[in-house]
Structure 1
Amino acid sequence: MKVLPVEESVGMILGHDITQIVPGICKGPAFRRGHIVSSGDIPVLLNIGKEHLYVFDLADGLVHEDDAAKRIAKAASGKGIVLSEPTEGKVTLTAEYDGLLKIDTTALFRLNSIKDMAFCTIHNNQTVIKGRPLAGTRIVPLVIEDESICEVEALCASYFPLIQVKPFISKKVGVITTGSEVAKGRIKDRFGPVLHKKFEKLGSTIIDQLFVSDDVEKTVAAIHSLKAAGAEVIVLTGGMSVDPDDQTPTSIRASGAREVIYGSPTFPGAMFMLAYLGDIPVLGLPGCVMYYNASIFDLVVPRILADEDVTRDDIVALGHGGFCEGCSTCRYPACGFGKGV
């Protein structure tokens, strides 16, 4: 920072607040720290008794905090991200549309390891709605060397995108409800309405729901029937526990589907199964999906509808954060459920 006559400070960055006092009327900042001095400011500054200023010179290879934040945000952002104008040196990133938030946490860690950088986000791999704030970024000082921002831009280019929102793909969903008690009409199906609501919210449509007893052969036939009908995702409900009559996992395996995992380190949702019949995801959903606002469904299905190939490691990683606290009023997704690192 250096001292210059007011008349020579045009285009430079003010290094401190300048207070204006009008007796009996006001006392407050006429210009804030970080203000870029313009020729129109000169008379005002002289009138309040300022003939010299402490300033930063952008010509010295420095970048103002506003410009730095804009460059960092632009370098990091992929599709589905809207950038705000800088406010007090910070740019906020919001969702352009509903979708699945994806953050490269390795890149994020490396970015924040660069001196004077601050880039913070909400948790990865969650459903977000249009307009939701997702992240914010700024530099710590008022100005920074251009080479530091160039370092950030190079890092983001090698990992691009650091942050994005993947849109949900509308898919045709087939549902199979197992259990003789439902198939024979002894009890009313409660799973179907829940799934209709959840899939509709994510932009997909249930094209058919079949009811079968706890019979492997009939369940396998139902799986292939839905595949032939054009289902792009097949969901089975009921029969997911270890009881001898619960044959849904056995049926999924017998259909020829490739098992990814049976059992998830999440509560609720431990008795979850994921398999792929060719490229069609086949999901075995435990009964908790009916009763809990947030469950394994909400951690996995959005990723499938964003066309992600969900792996065994993806499910195993849910163990960190996969314990629902059972709050009396559910706050999901504004909570820690499923949001490990």
Structure 2
Amino acid sequence: MKFGPVPLDEAAGAILAHSMRAPSPDGYASLTYKIAKGTVLTVQHLRDLAEDGVTQVVAARLEPGDVHEDAAAEQLAAAMLASGVGLRARRASTGRVNLVAEHTGIVSLDAAAILAANLVDPGITIATVPCWQRIAADGLVATIKIIPYAVPGDRLAQACAAARGAIGLHGAQIATLTLIETRIGPDTPPDKGRRAMAARAANFGAQLSPRIVVAHDAQAISAALADAPGEVLMILTGSATSDICDVAPQGVRHAGGQVDHYGMPVDPGNLLFLGRIGGKPVIGLPGCARSPALNGADWVLERVICGVPVTSADIAAMGVGGLLKEIHSRPMPRRGKNSA
């Protein structure tokens, strides 16, 4: 692509780089109209500009093999959506195509592929939300922006190859969850935690089965798990789970299940455990799950609801970016009075 000043008599078909005003072609000299940047200049445009004494314009002229910004953005969007899962592209405009969610879900990304595409040419760009972020229906997931008015076709092809199938959206795979709460003493705990978890399930169109509250005892938890109807089982204990052999993990084992992981490098959310009974995932929730605020349990629960496997390595990887909002009421805040 050639870019720069162009004599007016050579500018037909060029792309105007900066908006200009020209006398109206209707014969009234006092009237003007705007020729917007990005306009492909016609003979009439040039006549109108000449009427105002303009002799040259700053414009872009495509060369053989160049691809116009809108067409380039559309091609790159099509490549990214090659997997065809849960996303659609909006119409291109000024070199931009937005990718939006067709339904609520979590976003999966091939970060290395997107980086490779962004490295091909500074004028070819892809920006996305973070990997595994929850997105509502019609929410913006990514934007593709071609910065110049055109890019070389060979570089566009290289970027398309790098980014092919690099993004997807995973929707809910389950409809019901069971929350088992434990009590310390005879009193039923407040329903704050249940309300918070019901709202999290509702984000994906799922719901909780009827309330279950049992004593804070491994055998009681085991019996509740055995009878639980939900496709995903969650345990919210009245006393924090402080070891992989604590009451709630033992309850999972007594029910014939196994505990695959305990603890996570996300704060708040450290005291989470993950296991399974038969084909049902079991999530031991940290106490912070009683709050609707974002915590580590959200990141695990959302993947489980959407059928995305969560391994110990996945949980370990959550540590980068896992320092979430400060909780000023905690017994030992992260920042002391004398902290810098």
Q: For this structure pair, what is the TM-score category when the shorter chain's length is used for normalisation?
A: 0.7 to 0.9
Structure 1 partner of 2:258? 258
Structure 1 partner of 2:79? 75
The question of 1:232 aligning with 2:231 is answered: yes
Structure 1 partner of 2:41? 37
CA distance in 2, matches of 1:270, 1:57: 57
Structure 1 partner of 2:338? none
Structure 1 partner of 2:285? 285
Report percent identity of matched pairs: 23
- Aligned to 1:155, what secondary structure does the other structure show? helix
Report the residue type matching 1:68 in the other structure: A
Deviation of 1:323 after TM superposition, in Å, equals 1.4
Q: 1:4 to 1:271 in 2, by over 3 A?
A: closer
CA distance in 1, matches of 2:240, 2:253: 13
CA distance in 2, matches of 1:67, 1:225: 57
Q: 1:107 to 1:232 in 2, by over 3 A?
A: same
Report the residue type matching 1:198 in the other structure: R
Q: Is the 8 A contact 2:285 2:297 kept in 1?
A: yes
- Aligned to 2:156, what secondary structure does the other structure show? helix
Aligned ranges 1:187-202 → 2 under 5 Å? 187-202=189-204
Q: RMSD value over aligned CA atoms? A: 3.2
Q: Is the 8 A contact 2:22 2:49 kept in 1?
A: no
Structure 1 length-normalised TM: 0.80
The question of 1:206 aligning with 2:208 is answered: yes
CA distance in 2, matches of 1:191, 1:55: 61
Q: Is the 8 A contact 1:92 1:136 kept in 2?
A: yes
Report the residue type matching 1:281 in the other structure: P
Q: 1:81 to 1:57 in 2, by over 3 A?
A: same
Q: Which region of structure 1 is more displaced relative to structure 2, 313-322 or 288-297? A: 288-297
Q: 1:41 to 1:177 in 2, by over 3 A?
A: same
1:64 to 52, 64, 68: 68
Which digits, 9 at most, give the CA deviation of each residue in 1:211-268, with x for residues without a partner? 2212222221221111xx4x21011110442389950011123333232211111111
Structure 1 partner of 2:220? 218
The question of 1:104 aligning with 2:116 is answered: no
Report the residue type matching 2:179 in the other structure: V
- Aligned to 1:323, what secondary structure does the other structure show? coil
Structure 2 partner of 1:146? 153
Deviation of 1:56 after TM superposition, in Å, equals 4.9
Q: 1:86 to 1:259 in 2, by over 3 A?
A: same
Deviation of 1:101 after TM superposition, in Å, equals 1.8
User: How many pairs were matched up?
Assistant: 318
Which digits, 9 at most, give the CA deviation of each residue in 1:33-85, with x for residues without a partner? x4223465454355445677676554611112222222222221343334333
Stretches of structure 1 lacking an aligned partner (at least 5 in a row): 329-341
Structure 2 length-normalised TM: 0.81
Q: Is the 8 A contact 1:68 1:138 kept in 2?
A: no
CA distance in 1, matches of 2:69, 2:143: 13
CA distance in 1, matches of 2:259, 2:175: 21
Q: Which region of structure 1 is more displaced relative to structure 2, 20-29 or 199-208? A: 20-29
Q: Is the 8 A contact 1:240 1:284 kept in 2?
A: no
1:137 to 144, 148, 159: 144
CA distance in 2, matches of 1:94, 1:174: 31
Q: 1:46 to 1:293 in 2, by over 3 A?
A: same
Deviation of 1:126 after TM superposition, in Å, equals 1.4
CA distance in 2, matches of 1:25, 1:212: 83
